[in-house]
Each structure stands twice: as structure tokens, then as C-alpha cells.
Chains A and B, each alone.
Chain A
């Protein structure tokens, strides 16, 4: 039986947890002092040894990413924190920054030091104004306390942190589009190579990491790599935030070691809402292929979820019970991708447009003969053909939805989804239902 391991979320229930005082009372910024006494190469090694992998979805080993930076050439190098959390279902970075912005800032300072950066950026999704303000306030507090600015804690190390609010585009969560947007350009993904490690922000060596990744660094420094890598599974180490949403009794953030099973998490969340049963779920946001009740005991680490045909992604578990129309759900997801497609490449721009038309007619029970195979073929022509991962992502709900629930799509040839799955029954808050 796996238990919860509140690490990043440990402080969330403290009074005014977002204040510097609360963070320091809980031992915050001690890791920074430790880090300041260490060689930067040792810091990188420590993070490598911890086995920390990127928490933004792709799971790339963090220490390895840092070590890809070319040797210092005297010019600037940057750390950019990707806080543009926009994936449907994903809701871990925003509460983290809301409740404890200082753990992120401490991670930013330590990481910047490790990679030789003197100006770090946090690119935050602009819609979450309250979190943006909280981050700005935290930067101000940290600066006043001498954790930021010139000669941090007398170490001779300087760092400025810029918090930048994006203007509302899913694509800007893609790291190279984020960099373009941060540079003041139109947010569209860049051609790789060169990778950001070689030519990133302003064409300088740049590390781009997710909020949760960077926030995990201080505790690795404080507690050691072994502490971290004793949690988790063989190749998926450490703790992570699992965000359960949808038809569960107690939706929310559950911080646990990687490798916990879906059943365990579901139990912690009080199970499916009363009187209903699990129909399907996403392991890591809408971009990860859906899974079903066959996968209740799936071990949630990168390898196992991958082997089950999906991806661990951002550990955003959207849970749907039997009142949910898969067709409607997939259709809404696709609407999102269609609306958020940046338009740079053909398959994502035109493919989601086309899928939208087909899905809407299936949802309305007006599908035509061959629509499902057409939908699959369109998704197939997007998947693996688009410029960046967002195009590929748009194909996943469609492909996995049809794989597990083809019969529901077939019903779309004659019966509207709202007749098969009335909205009232599906609504999360039953005030609408009888």
C-alpha cells in the first residue's frame, strides 16, 4: 500500500503558506545555503543521481538536460521556468505556485547557480492573474531578504528573476514557442536543432524546466539524492503531484511517489462518486490516450503507463463515470486543440478543423457511413506528422477513444450523444440532476 508523501504540498495547509515567513519557518531557503557552499558541478551531479525527470510531461532526465549546456563562453545563459500550465486536466503547477511560490523560487535560484545563469525567467500563463501576483510578491520578498539580486547571501552570486505573464495560448507551453513568446515574438514552435540548450532564449544556452521539476530541486539538495531516489520505481524516481478531477468523490492534488497505482489514488479520492462506476480516465491530461477500468491497477510511472499505450504526462487524472459520452468528451477535447492550434503546420491546423466537423456531426447523431474510419485516418495523418508535439497530442483522444469505445462512435451515426448520455446525469454537481 502506497501512502501519500506530501513534499511540495506539505506546507499548503499552513497559515499564509505563500509568505516567506511561513516557508522559512518550515525550513525554506536552507537548501539554498547548502547549495551556495557546493560546487556547481556537484549540484548537477546530485540532481542527476536523484533520478529526477522532467515533470512537465515528457519525463526527460533533469540533470542530463542541464549537462547539455555547452561550456561557459562568458556570455549569458538562461533558466526559463515553464509555468504556462494549459493542458486540459492539468492543475498542479498553478496550485503549487499559489500555495508555495517560494519553493519554486528557491529551486530557481539553486538551478540558476548550477547552470551559471544570472537572469532567470518564469513564464506563467496570463489567465491566472492571482498566481502571477503571488509570484511577483514572492520575488519581491525574496529580494528583500537577500535571496535574489546582487551578491546573494554574501556568496558573490547574482541573480535576477523575471516573472512574465503569457497572453493566453496553449502553444506557448511548448518550450520553443514559449521562448519565442518570451522574446516578444509570435508564439510558434521553433525548428530543432538547435535545441534550447545550445541556442534558446535570445539564441543563448537555455534550460527550460517545468515548475514542479524546479520546485523539486531544493528538497533534493536539502535531503540528498538518495532520499529522493528511494521514492518511486526503478526508472521513475521521487514524488509527484497527481491531480484527480472529474467524477471522483474528493477531487484534488495527491502527492505520492511515482509508481502508485490508479486504484490507490482513486481510493484516496474517495472513489467514483456514489452510485456510479468508472468508465474511462486519462493518466496525464487530454494529450495522453485514455484508459479504462481495465487499467485500475496500472502502476503510474513513465514506463508502465507507456507500456499500457498511454503516457504518464502531467499526472492529470481526469476521471469519467458511465454517464459520460466518450464522443462528447473527445469532441470537446478536439475543440480545445482546434482552438489552440497555433496554425504553423498543416496537419494540426487543418486536421483538427476537419476532425471538429466530423466529431460534431457524430455527437449530433448525424454521422455518415465511414465517418469513424475517416476520423481515424485523419488522426493518423496528424499523429507523428505535425511540427510539434501538440499536433500529435490532438490525435490521441480520437484514436484511443475509438479504440476503446468504437460502438459509441457508431451510435453517432443515428443517435445524438445527449440522448444517450443526458447532460443532467453527467453533471458533476447533481443540483441539475433529480
Chain B
């Protein structure tokens, strides 16, 4: 007889109480025994277990003895030892670990002995030696000597499974952490288990007999007809060349796989995490392999500088040289994962072109020559304060909050101008208005935790996998857990949106405004997405707007109306680490620190009071492009330029004219750049490793970090402080502590905020024959200077292609497999064409990849109309 079930309101999280080694512990229902044990300080050895991956129970290392009450409540021992990594704690359970149970102790000792049967004794030359869970736990829980006297199973090695990731199969203990990570977290199962069983003794091709990780390479698995490809760039223990995995024609791949820059099927933007979670030295990186020993490294916590996500990282250096970076553990932000860019793209900070001493232009030769700080600083001060027509400041988007603050104050106090703009990218007045109205001065609202739980997330102008990898992982986690639904307004379904199972609202670039407006109206008369419009009105809905929406006329205007209509929470996701902080401290022509509009007299009084000056310039400043135009036509007398790359600018040619034509150029940079060629004074500043400071991530969460490498170099804030001093002003930004203290002096701003933007949508462009609207954004791995010096990483980037619909391709007579040419008055861009489901009359290309520099080649950006033709016909005509 069963009682009829009763309707109950959701119960609070149920706790269960159990004992582990006699210690009582209460944990939420569903907690695994291995985790419950951690709560009372009992560490059970494990390999396959990872708290962020689903249980596997494969390695069998965490066996414990368990007794549990039966139906009558009598505590009965389970017949076999249980894996604590798969076993959920139940009330009254009695667990005995290796500490109290001889059975568990023997079981664990037995498993570690098994794992070592076929594990090489190459710890002294293994990257993992010294930080290896297998080594550590073998020493803690294993035997001193081996009873195995036979021949171990060995494999030809290494395998280059991507240009960055190397695999030594003999070290692998087949715990499947890597494959589970790629499948469960990243969604790129580019490696998997192959074959079965323990294989045979000796060194040979084991074919499918011997379970192993890999990419189904015919040659490596000894299929008939498989052709072995090798690479001398990396070698095995006998000097034999590495086996190259997944080369064209050599790999069985599953599903449509885009090709990466090294010619392999694209692997993953997150593959480096597999190296970090590998409990042995089976997975290594081409850039770190055999470079150092863990115990020689000094580790420092830091924050990744490549995007606005604020991922925690660990920087490992030895004698002043950074050798690798790892993911930090920050449950609130990146959990334990980072992108490959955050992990591998650090050599730029110590590239050969890093500036070490100040440079000034020799009056006679016109060449830049090294000089003393004192001379350079005084000359800079002289050029900047003496410039007729004023100075424009272009700080770039990669500054810490402290450095950005120094730039903001320097422009107003020393240069006496509001001509300052951090946006070294396409931008608009509508965007400035939006940032000043909505973003600046707002405290943290939407967080990563919210993304993981939001029932409906709408993305617009944002491809998280390419532009904000940490957001992508968090959204995907929520989607896979069944809590989150993602919708995206984009020209096509991308690899990233597909992995988030996103509902794609296809648009022709420029059409975002219309879709946002229709969603705001909400009813089925106005939008075919009425269900989505309804979901956005629900509790917990979130809209993430990428910075690219700024290029869509009326985009932010419509976005704010949608937010108002739905009550959804909004977050702005820029692309660079310094962007959010720059908005906060007023690196915009109409904005002062803390969201104060420059136009408000009270705001200027507030700021002037903190800065100890009589007044601040009241004239609204020029934006980035206007500054360059004013410099080019001689209106401005000088430019103060920070870390900007001309290739990022919507009109690189204008920037070149401005730099060449302006009276003088003072540059603050880490590395020599195209700007350096025009600079009169170059003041070197340090990269993030050389300074402490704070990034504000997209959530508006402060991400402070300390100096990794102490050295003589100075931050922007300190250099600007020196220049200010030479100009007779005390900037007060000599140290991070001073700067932070001053930032804290700002009272909250309760005055009027900048008005919301009110911009109309642009008319839909007329497309004649052979013309298409350009869609474009940057890929995570591209031609950016931040990835310089890491060829292995570059090999894992997507191969640049142009994407268009089948009808668009047919319309221009494009043959399958052919190249397509995009052209404007400025120039042309030729790329292999790939057909995709997307609106007709649209062509997508990567914005700044190797061989695809949109601004430089075409002189236009997303939403512009370009001519489209097959490559061969263009040659003929």
C-alpha cells in the first residue's frame, strides 16, 4: 500500500548526516562521499574525479568501505568497497576510508600499483614531475617498490594532437578527465577514447588493442592506408619525430569540422585546460614541454588581460621569465577554466620589441634614440603643454583602472581637455551616450552566477565563444543543466551558439534594431519571437549586449527600450580587459569618473574638488575618430597615444595621416608599434606582469592583481605622474595605493545621468546584383598583437573563411570549393567560401585574422555593403 502523494511546496535543500572515519558530517542531499570527506578534512586519493566534471568511477583509486542502513534501519556493510567519487551520501551511512579501514587501504594501494604497472618511470624528465597527482599519491599511498617485473606497454610518442597540445600515451592513466572536459564543459569533443583494454607489452603500434586517447588517426591506429605524418619540431625520447595527428586525409573526424590554421580539424579554444587537469604528464603543451621543472617556478596569482571576463590565472615564472600560465580557481568568475588565449598568449609581454628605455627623436637624423627618463619626461611635458590647438589623448582599452584613472585625470588637469577616448575600435556617439547613461557608475548587477541560473538570456552583438570565453562556458553550463535558455540576435548560427543550443534570431547586420524593437513590443503581431519576448519579461531574464551593437544605428536606443519594456537585466560586454574600467573613470569625451556627465556643472565641481583644481574643462571633447581627424587636419597640435594598434581602428589610414601630420606624438607603450614610427617621445610602460592594479570585468567586478615580475619598469599611472610633475602638476598617481585612495574619495553621484541615446535605425541597404551586407567580428585567436610569439597557439586558430548562404553563392555564380572576393573602393579581400544557413545577401568574414583584415582591406565594417564575386570571375573580368 502506498499513500497518495501530496502536493508539497519545494522543500529547502535537504541535509543528510553520515559519519566518515567516525566523524559526523552533514551535507546537502546529493553530495558525493568524496566531497563530504573533504568537508571534514579527510582526503581520499583520486584521479578521474574532478569536482566540475560528472562522476566517472574509472580509476577506482578512491575506494572506501561503506555500511548503510537497510530498509529496517539495520546498518549493513556493502559487500564490496565503493568508489567515493560516485557514491552519494545517504543518511546514516558509515564510511571508512584508508585511514580507518584496512580493506580500503589495501584496495587503494592495489589500484595505485595497477596504475604504475604501465606508467613509465620518467618522472625526472616529465613536465608533471613535482606537481603530479600520480607521483604525489603514489608517494603518499603507494608502495616503495614495484612488484611488477614485466615489460611495460609503450607507444611511439609524442603525438601532436593539435599544434599546441602534445600527447604521450604511455603516461596516460585513462582517467578520461580530458575527454570529459572537452565533451561536458567546452563542447568540443575533439579527442576521445579509442581501442580497448590494456594492450600488449612493448613499443609498437597497438592499433585498437590498447585503449588510448586520440583523434582517430588512421596511421596511428595502424589502419590500412593510413599515412604517417611526422614533425621534427617536437621529438620523442629517442629523437624520433612527433606523430602529427589529424592532418588532412589522416584523421577520421566526426561531423562538419572547420579547419584550423595548422590544417587540422578545428579542436577547441579551451584545450589547454586538459593539460592542467591531466593527473599525469600525458598531455603537455608544445610551448612549455621540457622547458622547466615545477619546483623551479615561482607562481603568482593574476588576472587574464585578453578579454573583459576577468578570469583568474596563475603566472609561473623562473628567473624573471614567464614560462606558462594556468587557470586560477575562482568559483565566482571562471571556476577552474580559462581560454587557450588566456593560457598561452603571454609571450607578447616579453617579445623582442618590448621597449626598455625611453626614446626621443634625434633632431639631426630623425631616428629614435634611447635617452634618460628625465630628458624624455621633460620633453614629453614640453611637447604636450606647448602644443598649439591642444592635445588629444588616445589611451586604448587595455589599461587597469588605476592607469585609466591617471589618463583621465592627466587629460583634464594637465592637458586641460576632454579630448579623450579609449575606444580604439569602431564606435559611435550613440554608444557614448549609452555608456554614459547606463553603464558608467553602475555597480555590479548581472554576474556569472546569474548567467548560470537565468531562465532566458538574450545575446545581441556578442559571440561569447569568440569574444568572452568565460561567459560562453558559464552559459553552456547553465544550458546543459537545463536551467538556462539562450537566444542570440546574429546573422547565423555559430559553433558557439550551437553549443549553447541557442535560438538564433537571424538578422542582416544593421537589422538588430528592428528585432530589438519588435521584441520590446512583444506581441505576436509585431514579432515572430513572441515566446522569447515573453520569456524576457520573466523573472531572472538577462540581456547581454556586446560592444559591437555600437556599430548598429539605433541599436542601443532600441536595447534600452527593450530593457524598459521587459524588465530584463542588462549587462554590457566589451571585448577588452580595460574597457569597463575606462568607462568607469571617464576615458570618454563626455564623461568624468563615476558616471558623472562632463556637461553637468556639479559633476565638474565634484571632480575638481577631489583633484584639487579650480575647474575642469567644460567643453565636450572629441571622440576617437574626431581626435584623429582633428590631428590629421592640424586642429590639434599633439597626440598622447597609449596602447593602441592601428589595425583595430575603423580607418587605419586616417590614423596614419593623423600621426604623420600632427605636430608631435607622445607614446606610452609596452612594445614598439606602428605608432612608434611617428612618435617624438616614446615612454615605455610595463605589461600587466610588471605592475599591480585592477581590471574591472564586464560584471563590473574589481579584479585586483599584484606585480608578478618586479623590475625597473613603470606603469602608465606612474609615467603620467612624472610627466605631470615635469609640467608642474602633481597628479598623485605615483603608486597604486595613492591612486586607489584617491578613487575612494569620490562620493557617489546622485546627480542627473547622461541622457539616453535616441537614434533611429538606419534604412535597410539596397542591394544590387553582386553586392552583400558585411557581417564581421573578431575571432578569439586572430592576428591581434597580444598573441604574438606563440606559433603553436596560432596554429589552433580557425582558418579564416567567408561565410554566405547558398542562394547568395548561387547568385554570384560561385562554384563549390571556390574563393570569394569582397571588395570596396578601398580594396579587396579573398577568402575560401563556406556555405552556411544565414540570410541571403550577407557575407561574414573574420574581422582581423591572418589574411583577413577587414578595416585595412575594405575600409568599412559590419553593416556596410560590399561587392561580392567569385575569385576566378574577377580574374577573368
Contact = CB atoms under 8 A, between A and B. Distances in A.
Contact of A350 (B55, B57, B63, B117): B117
Interface in B696-711: none
Contacts of B211: 342-344, 349
Contacts of A357: 148, 150-151, 201
Nearest to B175: A346
Interface string B3-20: 000000000000000000
A165 B493 CA distance: 37
Interface stretch (A214-222, A304-312, A384-392): A384-392
A357 B152 CA distance: 10
Contact of B114 (A186, A342, A343, A347): A347
A434 to B, nearest CB: 36
A339 B209 contact: yes
Interface in B54-112: 55-61, 63, 79-81, 86, 106-107, 110-111
A343 B111 contact: no
B147 interface: yes
B110 A354 contact: no
A338 interface: yes
Interface string A183-223: 00010100100000000000000000000000000000000
Interface of B: 55-61, 63, 79-81, 86, 106-107, 110-111, 113-115, 117-118, 147-151, 153, 173-174, 192-193, 195-199, 201, 209-211
Nearest to A374: B147
Nearest to B119: A350
Interface in A342-375: 342-347, 349-354, 357-358, 368, 374
Given A345-B57, A346-B60, A385 B197 contact: no
B512 to A, nearest CB: 38
Given A342-B197, A353-B153, A357-B150, 16 more contacts: A188-B193, A191-B55, A338-B197, A340-B196, A343-B211, A346-B111, A346-B173, A349-B197, A350-B198, A353-B199, A354-B114, A354-B148, A368-B149, A381-B110, A381-B113, A381-B114
A186 B148 CA distance: 30
A169 interface: yes
A353 B111 contact: no
B81 A385 contact: yes
B196 A169 contact: yes
A387 B56 CA distance: 10
Contacts of B150: 354, 357-358
Nearest to B198: A353
A354 B199 CA distance: 11
B79 A384 contact: yes
A186 B147 CA distance: 33
Contacts of B55: 191
A171 interface: yes
Interface string A412-432: 000000000000000000000
B111 A340 contact: no
A236 interface: no
Contacts of A384: 79-81
A183 to B, nearest CB: 15
A386 B115 CA distance: 13
Given A343-B193, A346-B115, A352 B110 contact: no
A318 interface: no
A341 interface: yes
Contacts of A188: 193
Contacts of A191: 55-57, 86
Contacts of A345: 57-60
B184 to A, nearest CB: 14
A109 B57 CA distance: 36
B60 A386 contact: yes
A387 B59 CA distance: 9
A346 B46 CA distance: 12
Contacts, number: 102
Given A385-B63, A386-B60, A341 B114 contact: no
Nearest to B59: A346
Contacts of A350: 114-115, 117-118, 198
Contacts of B151: 357
Nearest to A381: B110
Nearest to B56: A191
B454 to A, nearest CB: 25
A213 to B, nearest CB: 24
B63 A349 contact: no
Contacts of B79: 384
Main secondary structure on B side of the interface with A: loop
Contacts of B58: 344-346, 387
A303 B151 CA distance: 42
Nearest to B79: A384
A319 to B, nearest CB: 29
Closest 5 CB pairs of A and B: A381-B110, A343-B211, A353-B198, A357-B150, A350-B114
Contacts of B86: 191
A342 B195 CA distance: 8
B115 A387 contact: no
B196 A341 contact: yes
Contacts of B149: 368
Nearest to B111: A346
A349 B111 contact: no
B204 to A, nearest CB: 15
A347 B174 CA distance: 12
A341 B149 CA distance: 21
A323 B147 CA distance: 32
B554 to A, nearest CB: 45
Given A186-B193, A346-B58, A385-B81, A353 B117 contact: yes
Nearest to A350: B114
A342 B196 contact: yes
A385 B150 CA distance: 23
A70 to B, nearest CB: 13
Nearest to A343: B211
B59 A343 contact: no
A385 B80 contact: yes
A408 B79 CA distance: 31
Nearest to B209: A339
Contacts of A341: 196-198
B179 to A, nearest CB: 10
A410 B316 CA distance: 55
Contact of A339 (B107, B148, B197): B197
Contact of B110 (A186, A344, A385): A385
A385 B60 contact: yes
Contacts of A186: 192-193
Contacts of A169: 196
Contact of A353 (B60, B118, B174): B118
Nearest to A368: B149
A339 B199 CA distance: 7
B200 to A, nearest CB: 9
A342 B176 CA distance: 14
A290 to B, nearest CB: 22
Contacts of B153: 353
Nearest to B114: A350
Contact of A349 (B61, B148, B174): B174
Contact of B196 (A343, A378, A380, A381): A343
B198 A343 contact: yes
Contacts of B80: 384-385
Contacts of A347: 60, 110-111, 114
Contacts of A374: 147
Contacts of A340: 196-197
Contacts of B107: 381, 385
A357 B114 CA distance: 13
10 contacts: A343-B196, A343-B197, A345-B59, A346-B174, A349-B211, A381-B107, A381-B113, A385-B110, A386-B60, A387-B57
B47 to A, nearest CB: 9
A381 B61 CA distance: 11
A385 B62 CA distance: 10
Nearest to A360: B150
B111 A381 contact: yes
